[in-house]
Chains A and B, each alone.
Chain A
Amino acid sequence: MWLAIFSLTLLGTLLGLVLGVAAKHFHVEGDSLAAEIEALMPGSNCGQCGFAGCPRAAAAIAEGSAPVTLCPPGGKALAQALAAKLGISIDLDAISDQGPQVASVAEEICIGCCRCSKVCPTDAIVGAAKQIHNVIREACTGCGNCVDRCPTEALLLQPLPITVQHWVWPKPAVAPAALAA
């Protein structure tokens, strides 16, 4: 009997120690899933999803209270990546995605009021007071904040033009079932 008691005590102590060390060693700060989701998001905190910035939206997606399709600038590509991350399946056709968009200034009606540049989350609009503004295409996320703010409707969202450098071969039109068979 003593041998059984001794061996079980020893086993319990050792396993407890292992668990204790593991808990200290592999300690996780906060919710790693939310952080990983945040890394996928555009990060411009434009607020179109209804949350106050990308970190909040990421937290909501991680706890399941928001759909993965909430981010308009991210579009289909982001929804797909998020669904893959969370291991859920979504209907991609249900998302209305016009592809990546950028804002542009109609120079003839811009009055140089500077309101748009103040709401741009990425400082993509340049221009001084009473000077025509312009959008730096590379920095624009197409969030549309400036479009709502412009008093003269000089700002428009337009699809990002496809150039020879960015063109991608289309997928061959063969039924995938035929290949996967």
Chain B
Amino acid sequence: MGIFEKIFRRHPHWGVHPDDHKLPAADVPLRVLPLPERLYVPMQQHVGGPARPVVLVGQRVRKGELIAEAQGKVSAPVHAPTSGEVSAIGEITAPHPSGLAQLAITIAADGADAWCERQPVADPFVLAPEEIAQRTAAAGVVGLGGATFPAAVKFNLGRRLKVTTLIVNGGECEPYLSSDDRIMRDRAEEVVDGLRIVMYAIGAREALVGIEDNKPQAIAAMRAAAAAFGNVQVRPVPAHYPMGSDKQLIQTLTGKEVPADARAAEVGVLVHNVSTCAAVHRALRHGEALVERIVTLNGGALTRPGNVLAAIGTPVVDLLRFAGVSGRPARLVLGGPMMGIVLPHARVPIVKGASGILAFDADEARTPAAGPCIRCGSCTRACPMGLLPLEMASRIGVDDLDGATGFGLSDCIGCGCCAYVCPSHIPLVQYFSYAKGELSARERGKLRNDATRRLAEERLARLEREARDKAAAAAQRKAGRDAARAAAGAGVRPLPERVVKPASEAAT
């Protein structure tokens, strides 16, 4: 970074700057979590259709073996995180704020942790880009920054829309989390190799790695790993929440603004997380499916915070035990404190998108009571999307969802800046989540309504057709009878003709 850039680097006018709480967890060397006895692997760990189990209870599986296949265009397969026996296929509590049940495959580990047959590729750059996308999809790689969008779907999108720039998201702006920081420090070569494979797969000419400037070791490690490649640039960005959101990172690095209701690929860039790039590297170079990830364990209730490499499906309770819990955590959060979800209890498994497990003590979990809106406008200044959270919330409060949509509700990224700065502690994000959910439920209801209406119309048409066919058949039979009678007894007076009414007419 030149001196000029250093002086004139503008601080973004949006967002907030919470205490990052990343230390000491970020500086603790990466540890490997001992394998738990049982792993609970949910079928829906990604955006899109849930995967469908392809194993039976009692079947023996090896690590990395396919246990559930992708269903639909946007979906991802799921692989066995260790070797062992499938002990159950059934519903478990989902790592989801609702605490509802979700289908999962339970694997009783045999302790050998033996890999299945892997098919590594010595040089991915001789493969066709489609082949890379296909292998990435088969390895079940999804966006590991938290959005969990299937990576291969994004590759194909990028190729179709002729993306020129790949942005690699090393922002990790959420406080407490340091899993991306750790992967950049410890596995910078894997990240750089993975991002070069991604560049090749989407046909991008250059890659910009955006890393917040509060991670100097990660920046240094990535610079060293990327030094040999001229088209990969490591660019420090100001540490500011929500810098790790794709739209904000794109704007900071390229100056391009993603239009409302458009995808990043439409302005010629595609964003992938650093951990996703590392997973692509492992999928191609080692032929390994995505079965483990780095999880940050942090929060005031933990005695040994840090980052651990854990198998997907590990119960949160095992992770907490590993990190040492002092007392009873007041709140468990999956992901970061700003956008993460509160877990109902610790007996839920970690999933592909679990960047961290935070165990808050009573002090950190304190939620002040909400007061009335004083219309100070703090939320408007903080909103990274330039929306008016106070106006949207007041409309949602009286269930005027269309009014809130008029204020740009669909552009809200749910980052939580507004609720963070609100002096009245109004749970603004919950209002927006409620409204978004309610709107999509309405949309689903409308689609369902249209579908049932079509079915009802088709049924009516079918009934009418059947009645018509029946009447026609009856008329034909009668004509046949009449003709036979006429042929048999010429001169005999024919019976008076019975009028056959079509059934459709009779019905009305």
Q: Could you tell me which A residues sit within 8 Å of B by CB distance?
A: 42-45, 77, 100, 120-124, 138-139, 141, 162-172, 174, 176, 178-181
Q: How far is the CB of A20 from chain B (nearest CB, A)?
A: 38
Q: 9 pairs across A/B with beta carbons < 8 Å?
A: A43-B449, A44-B455, A120-B459, A162-B98, A169-B434, A171-B396, A171-B434, A172-B426, A180-B394
State A64–B451 Cα separation when bound (angstroms): 28
B479 within 8 A of A: no
List 6 tightest A-B contacts by C-beta distance, closest first.
A43-B453, A168-B437, A179-B397, A178-B372, A176-B397, A169-B433
Contact code string B147-171 (vs A, CB < 8 Å = 1, else 0): 0000000000000000000000000
Q: How far is the CB of A89 from chain B (nearest CB, A)?
A: 13
The answer to whether B441 and A168 touch across the interface, beta carbons within 8 angstroms, is: yes
Q: How far is the CB of B100 from chain A (nearest CB, A)?
A: 5
Partner of B459, one of A121, A168, A181: A121
Q: How far is the CB of A49 from chain B (nearest CB, A)?
A: 15
The answer to whether B398 and A180 touch across the interface, beta carbons within 8 angstroms, is: yes
Closest residue on chain A to residue B438 by CB atoms: A168
The answer to whether B456 and A179 touch across the interface, beta carbons within 8 angstroms, is: no
Asked whether A164 and B426 contact (CB < 8 A) given A171-B431, A172-B434, the answer is no
Closest residue on chain B to residue A136 by CB atoms: B455
State A43–B455 Cα separation when bound (angstroms): 9
Known interface pairs A164-B100, A172-B434, A176-B397; 7 further A-B residue pairs with C-beta atoms within 8 A, sorted by A's residue number:
A42-B453, A43-B452, A45-B460, A122-B456, A139-B452, A178-B371, A179-B372
The answer to whether A164 and B96 touch across the interface, beta carbons within 8 angstroms, is: yes
State A104–B44 Cα separation when bound (angstroms): 26
Q: How far is the CB of B113 from chain A (nearest CB, A)?
A: 30
State A65–B456 Cα separation when bound (angstroms): 25
B interface bracket (residues with beta carbon within 8 Å of A): 35 or more
Tell me if B's interface is mostly helix, strand, loop or mixed. Answer: helix
State A180–B437 Cα separation when bound (angstroms): 21
Closest residue on chain B to residue A171 by CB atoms: B434
The answer to whether B398 and A169 touch across the interface, beta carbons within 8 angstroms, is: no
B444 within 8 A of A: yes
Asked whether A169 and B373 contact (CB < 8 A) given A45-B456, A164-B98, A176-B398, the answer is no
Partner of B437, one of A45, A123, A169, A176: A169
The answer to whether B430 and A172 touch across the interface, beta carbons within 8 angstroms, is: yes
B175 within 8 A of A: no
Q: How far is the CB of B270 from chain A (nearest CB, A)?
A: 26
Partner of B456, one of A44, A100, A174, A180: A44
B445 within 8 A of A: yes
Q: How far is the CB of A181 from chain B (nearest CB, A)?
A: 5
Closest residue on chain A to residue B370 by CB atoms: A174
State A174–B369 Cα separation when bound (angstroms): 10
Q: Which of B102, B426, B438, B449 has the most chain A CB atoms closer than 10 A to its own CB? A: B449
Q: How far is the CB of B442 from chain A (nearest CB, A)?
A: 7
Q: Which of A45, A139, A141, A171 has the most chain B CB atoms closer than 10 A to its own CB? A: A171
B117 within 8 A of A: no
B window 449-499: CB within 8 A of A: 449, 451-453, 455-460
* Residues of B with C-beta under 8 A to A167: 96, 98, 100, 437
* Residues of B with C-beta under 8 A to A45: 456, 460
The answer to whether B96 and A179 touch across the interface, beta carbons within 8 angstroms, is: no
State A43–B456 Cα separation when bound (angstroms): 7
* Residues of A with C-beta under 8 A to B431: 171-172
The answer to whether A122 and B398 touch across the interface, beta carbons within 8 angstroms, is: no
The answer to whether A122 and B397 touch across the interface, beta carbons within 8 angstroms, is: no
